[in-house]
Amino acid sequence: MSFDVFSGDEADLVQKIIKERADDAWAKPVIAAINRNGGLVGTNKDQFLERRFGHALRKVGIDPKYEIAGEGDTTLDFGFESAGKGWSVELMRLSETKAAREATKAGVDKDGIPFTKRILSSDAEDKKQSIEGETLKAIERICGKCELDGRPYKFPVPADRYHAILVDMRTYLHGGDLADRVHVALGTNYVTEPLLRVYWQGKPITGFFHEETNSKGATNLRDRVHFVGFVNERSYGQESFGGAIQFFANPKLFVGETPEQKAALARAAFASWPLKESRLMNAGSEEKDEEGAEKAK
């Protein structure tokens, strides 16, 4: 019982992209991986995500390189130049958690029609089967992208390129909303509406960019990744991949004396991102909603 569906619209778009990009150097290894693993089937959604992103870049005139050199002997999914700046981008999908699957039940309504429902509640016997639990797991998984065997993974120390992670959020709270993504990136006290804040064991959640977060890889992420983008595609017919991304800038890597200076630096960096429909949600500012933080106490 899964809500991580592979729709016909997504399949149609991927098939179209495969035909259009069959001769592109970056696309050939992705197509080969798809074909090896059964073609247009749900288990290939990681590769389909890469296809859609690469296709979106080509539509705006960017010719990306696939599997570029990363930290040590690792690779990053895409590298490209845009507006005179270099970008290194890693893509990942948040697969359904064990807790979410266990919170999913099948039944039959009074008319005999079968249904499937998922209930994530703070009152659940298993506390992981909750919005709070899903939020913590998302933070943990994204941080984990930056560490392996106790060492930095994927992203090298920043030099002359911007580093970004794109996270497919479709299985996280059915894609979630902006408040959910603020929780994951920054933390509970950065959510401006107090009624939307969630807590774990009575304490505010800290996001992956928050200095108090100590999940595996969190320090490396804060030291090495400039932006994290949350991808929440609601449809596939318009091919608007860029418009489905909400980015958060890493406050640690945009250094200024005031929040306004940090925000200006983040905006200047983000201006070179080629998919102009994408949005930067925090502009690099570390400033909390202090009134809300006091209420949270």
**What pLDDT digit, counting tens, does each position of 247-269 carry?**
999 999 998 888 889 999 999 99
* pLDDT on residue 280: 97
Biggest CA-to-CA distance, the chain: 64
Write out the chain in H/E/C secondary structure: CCCCCCCHHHHHHHHHHHHHCCCCCCHHHHHHHHHHCCCCCHHHHHHHHHHHHHHHHHHCCCCCEEEEECCCCCEEEEEEEECCEEEEEEEEECCCCHHHHHCEEEEECCCCCEEEEECCCCCCCCCCCCHHHHHHHHHHHHHHCCEECCEECCCCCCCCEEEEEEEECCCCHHHCCHHHHHHHHCEHHHCCCHHHCCEECCEECECCCCCCCCCCCHHHHHHHCCEEEEECCCCCCCCCCHHHEEEEECHHHCCCCCHHHHHHHHHHHHCCCCCCCCEECCCCCCCCCHHHHHHHC
The two tokens of residue 164 are: 């970004």
The two tokens of residue 121 are: 């509640």
* pLDDT on residue 50: 94
58, amino acid identity? R
Q: CA–CA separation, 249 vs 64, rounded Å?
A: 22
Alpha carbon of 215 to those of 8, 71, 92, 201, 222: distances in Å? 37, 20, 18, 17, 11
pTM summary value: 0.88
* pLDDT on residue 125: 73
Question: Average pLDDT of each block of 10 consecutive residues along the chain (297 residues)?
Answer: 75 91 93 91 88 95 96 96 98 85 78 78 77 94 96 96 96 90 96 94 96 97 98 82 96 89 94 97 58 37
* pLDDT on residue 126: 72
The two tokens of residue 257 are: 């004396």
* pLDDT on residue 7: 81
Decide: 215 and 139 in contact? Cβ < 8 Å: yes
Decide: 139 and 39 in contact? Cβ < 8 Å: no
* pLDDT on residue 292: 39
* pLDDT on residue 226: 98
Decide: 71 and 156 in contact? Cβ < 8 Å: yes
Nearest to 213 by CA among 230, 190, 192, 193: 190
Q: CA–CA separation, 131 vs 57, rounded Å?
A: 34
Q: CA 239, 244, 250, 256: dihedral to nearest 10 degrees? A: 90
Decide: 239 and 55 in contact? Cβ < 8 Å: yes
The two tokens of residue 145 are: 């992208």
Q: CA 131, 135, 138, 142: dihedral to nearest 10 degrees? A: 170
